[in-house]
Structure 1
Amino acid sequence: MHRKTPRRLAVNASRHYVSLKRAAGLPSRGHPQRRTMTDSPDAESHFLEQLGQRVRTMRALRGMSRKVLAKVSGISERYIAQLESGKGNVSIVLLRRVSDAMGAHLEDLLPSADPTPDWQMFRDLLRKATPAQIAQAKDLLAGGSATAPRRAPFCGIALIGLRGAGKSTLGKILAKKVGWSFVELNKEVEQQNGLSVAEIIALYGQEGFRRMEQAALQQLLARNELMVLATGGGIVSEPLTFDQILSSFYTIWLKAEPEEHMARVRRQGDLRPMADDRSAMAELRNILLSREPLYARATAVVDTAGLSVDAAAARLIDAVRPVLQNEARSFGLRSVAL
């Protein structure tokens, strides 16, 4: 018999270990297999594509061109293009810079199950709620009793839509026709803060402007007077403010073709925030595409495509006639002859 050396004993032990792993159905080399993200490159690619789409949609909701987002965030325009195309594996720190530049919540950029349209509004309400309000909401959601919801006071007509939709022009005509005051929300923001919208955004960013916009709306509602309100095109990107508009006003989306929006804006000499952007038309289409589902939450839609100012005003007046008659009966308002 040959005496077994330590080397031979080790070899035999190794062979025995391999045979046991094979019998158990385990791989003969390395560690047992574990499922990881790297085993599914398609899942990773899909995640990055969804992330890019969310960044692109959020940027469009804010009405920001890629060039503007790059300038505000300090991230190169080329890198943002890669991120939006699903080819940029961005770090969480850079993604936070992108969300901060847009005045958005970081979690809104992360792909997840599609929430209900009101989810963001509920979330923001919870963030501002007192402990007592949160306890009351929990009790209600758990099936507790609650009083019937109060109807918000009727404050008038609100016009929403992209720049160039005719909100100011048609709003003034409608206000004069019904005898109400005409208010432009952006001008109220400027008057209350002593700064132009551009200066506010430059100093305080998108998030700061949205806070001031919400405060200006609250002050308008506190007047308790009927008005025709022209809103900024991006108001739909702020859930709480937009929900207040929808609940307090008969809201009308003034709709037109992208080419008409662009032509009207050019005639006004205002290309914010797409000035000097060679892809301005593509950006405008992207903005409209991203905002359309939110604009569509309006009570009514008035399509002004191809219409003169007089024809568009007549169509708007026709759209508000039923609600004015209904509100007059419900609240004892002075009947308006249209």
Structure 2
Amino acid sequence: MKKICIFGAGSVGGHMAARLAQAGLDVSVVVRGAHLAAIRKNGLRMTAPGEDFTVQVHASDNPADLGPQDLVISTLKAQSLGPAAEGMAALLKPDTPVVFAVNGIPWWYFHGMPDDGSGQPAATRLPRLDPQGLVWRHIGAQRALGCVIRSPNELSAPGVVRSTGAANTFTIGEPDNSASPRLAAIVETLQRGLPGARASQEIRRDIWAKLVLNVPSSLLCALTVSTAPELFAREDTREMWRQLGNETHAVAAAHGIDAGFDLDAQISSGGKNRHPPSMLQDLLASRPMELDAQMRAVQDLGRMAGVPTPTLDVAVTLLAHRERSEFAASLREKA
């Protein structure tokens, strides 16, 4: 695989693009606005502890400018996939795979899936995640691979990505859990610049393992405008964290996935992490939050399997109101 396009190269996608370009791969990025202008003028710069380097990448806000690619990696937020799908199709050759590095439940979730015990056939779609069917139509589930990313980054300025953590993992898997030749080729290619890339034959388990941590973290940090250590310091918020994690774990189990959830282990590790979750960052920046993919899709899957999610239901309602609140928006503008 020679030509790789990162579609939506913000903080995480920018990290991937910079590392892969530094390793000598032919990298393109689809970005827009001030970020695009800065990359075109100065290159894509990445800073990390002990590192500061700049790479040159092909950059455009029009995918058609970049031509067909051997691999496309989408780091768009879930709610942006549908509107971008037709443009993304311009990057695809007949056999180009697309790795969807997205938080939460992916739009292709039931595709290629054996019976999960919930009675949902593999053809089941989740309308909330692709309401007009644009991703199915323009990209197609047969191209899709899932990707779970654990890599804390931020855009410190247009064209500049700052990596804020040493642990950067990129877990990639086929929807049918197979060890396919294309999966092996993708991981081998990415490892040239991203040594944390690995193949998984249980990508849904990897998705849920992150979700049981992200659901309580994202919801509670955004609702309270706090970091994890602050929430873990109080018994009442620790208990709410536990309830949200347990409800998410129960939904996963009803769909045949043992996601694992150990609050004490999380407190030992995540309780020291002061990096604000992306949902809190989005709220503070008045950007749309990924409530559908990270939260409401879990509620939907719970209802499909008859699993109640009372704590999650209340928390999502409150956070959705906070996102819509004009008063809260006015406070953010003054901050």
| Structure with more helix by fraction | 1
| Structure with more strand by fraction | 2
**TM value normalised by structure 2:** 0.25
**TM value normalised by structure 1:** 0.25
Max radius of gyration: which structure?
1
